[in-house]
């Protein structure tokens, strides 16, 4: 190829000089360095996603306290951060992150930290539940707060126990006896643990001991909004029973409604024995729907001729008011509840108010 004329080569050199000068003036940090390690991406912190500036600042203040200062103050801040992320108090729930804060609090000497670690091992906050590890943390908690440790130990034992499925008799009479209450649960309630009190109340309702249940819920009510709600529901149930007694005999529709409540567990634990008894009374008073429901219930017994509990569950929300059975829309009703976790009462009220509703 023929050489370019000298004038063309000079023109090309003049055009390239400004670009070369601009590159020479560029900051060196903007140019890749061969062999230098790549910077790690900065992970978004949970508080960075919080819209409320005051809440975001409060979280940042707690992290600052956990990072520096006296060990006791750092431990308390780490413990609170664990509770906040465990329950989603103003932030998204992050159980795995909560474990990290609980471990830091434990290292720094926070006496409540074993409770958080026991619960997270029981729930599997970072993967699979580890009951053996949970029990070790419960033992450690006993030295600081025996009633809470007793409640957690009862909870652990109850989850590890074989599932007990009560099968009602085909021709129901009275409700089956309720298993005796664990001494651990009673001891925890006597020691002032609100979660044990609520659990005893739920067990009393299941045993149809409503006055006793009301006492348990009222004992926990000063420190638990859940217990307040439960106590209100039990009072309403007791009043309904008194009204029904004065208005005997009950009409067919009232009996049918009561049977549905027991069948579906609306306001009380589901009780198929009681539901069938009430369906039978409603049928005797002329309820066609109760008659249809009983026919369906007994249409599919177990191989031994007993009531099929799974079949009862499927029938609970069946609408039989028309010629053809159809699914009914579950009624929105208040129900007895537990606290979201056995640690929620340890959150300060300002953070507890930010927890989304998590009924258990």
Q: What is the CATH number of the domain that holds 101?
A: 1.25.40.10
Residue 137 in any domain: the answer is yes
Return the pLDDT at 356. 66
Indicate the number of domains in the chain.
Answer: 1
pTM: 0.66
Confidence of residue 22 (pLDDT cuts 50, 70, 90): very low
Cβ distance 99 to 130 under 8 Å? no
Residue 106 in any domain: the answer is yes
Cβ distance 224 to 198 under 8 Å? yes
Q: Is the pLDDT of residue 334 over 50?
A: yes
Residue 112 in any domain: the answer is yes
Residue 282 in any domain: the answer is no
Residue 38 in any domain: the answer is no
Q: What is the DSSP letter of 320?
A: -
Give tens-digit pLDDT for 164-189: 444 444 333 334 444 556 899 999 99
Question: 3-state DSSP helix/strand/coil percent for the chain, to nearest 5?
Answer: 60, 0, 40
Q: Which two three-digit tokens encode residue 307?
A: 């009531």
The residue behind tokens 């960075």 is 48
Residue 140 in any domain: the answer is yes
Average pLDDT, the chain: 80
d(CA 236, CA 220): 18
List, in order, residues 6 or more apart from 143 with CB less than 8 Å away.
Answer: none
Residue 280 in any domain: the answer is no
Domain encompassing residue 124: 52-161+348-352
């Amino acid at each position: 190829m023929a050489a370019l004329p000298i004038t063309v080569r000079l023109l090309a050199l003049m055009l390239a000089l400004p670009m070369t000068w601009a590159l020479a003036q560029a900051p060196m940090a903007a140019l890749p360095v061969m062999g230098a390690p790549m910077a790690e991406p900065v992970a978004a912190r949970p508080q960075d996603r919080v819209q409320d500036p005051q809440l975001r600042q409060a979280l940042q203040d707690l992290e600052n306290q956990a990072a520096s200062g006296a060990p006791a103050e750092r431990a308390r801040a780490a413990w609170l951060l664990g509770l906040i992320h465990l329950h989603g108090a103003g932030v998204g729930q992050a159980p795995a992150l909560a474990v990290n804060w609980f471990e830091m609090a434990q290292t720094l000497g926070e006496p409540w930290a074993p409770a958080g670690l026991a619960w997270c091992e029981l729930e599997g906050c970072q993967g699979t539940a580890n009951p053996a590890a949970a029990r070790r943390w419960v033992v450690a908690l006993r030295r600081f707060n025996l009633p809470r440790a007793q409640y957690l130990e009862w909870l652990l034992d109850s989850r590890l126990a074989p599932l007990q499925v009560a099968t009602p008799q085909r021709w129901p009479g009275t409700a089956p006896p309720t298993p005796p209450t664990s001494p651990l649960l009673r001891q925890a309630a006597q020691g002032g643990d609100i979660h044990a009190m609520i659990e005893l109340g739920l067990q009393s309702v299941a045993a149809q001991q409503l006055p006793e249940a009301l006492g348990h819920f009222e004992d926990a009510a000063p420190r638990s909004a859940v217990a307040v709600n439960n106590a209100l529901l039990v009072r309403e149930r007791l009043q309904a029973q008194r009204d029904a007694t004065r208005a005997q005999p009950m009409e067919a529709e009232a009996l049918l409604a009561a049977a549905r409540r027991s069948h579906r567990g609306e306001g009380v634990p589901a009780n198929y024995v009681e539901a069938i008894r009430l369906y039978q009374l409603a049928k005797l008073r002329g309820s066609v729907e109760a008659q249809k429901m009983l026919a369906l219930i007994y249409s599919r017994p177990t191989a031994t001729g007993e009531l099929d509990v799974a079949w009862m569950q499927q029938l609970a929300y069946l609408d039989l008011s028309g010629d053809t059975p159809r699914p009914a829309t579950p009624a929105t009703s208040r129900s007895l509840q537990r606290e979201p976790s056995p640690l929620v009462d340890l959150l300060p009220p300002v953070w507890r108010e930010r927890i989304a509703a998590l009924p258990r």
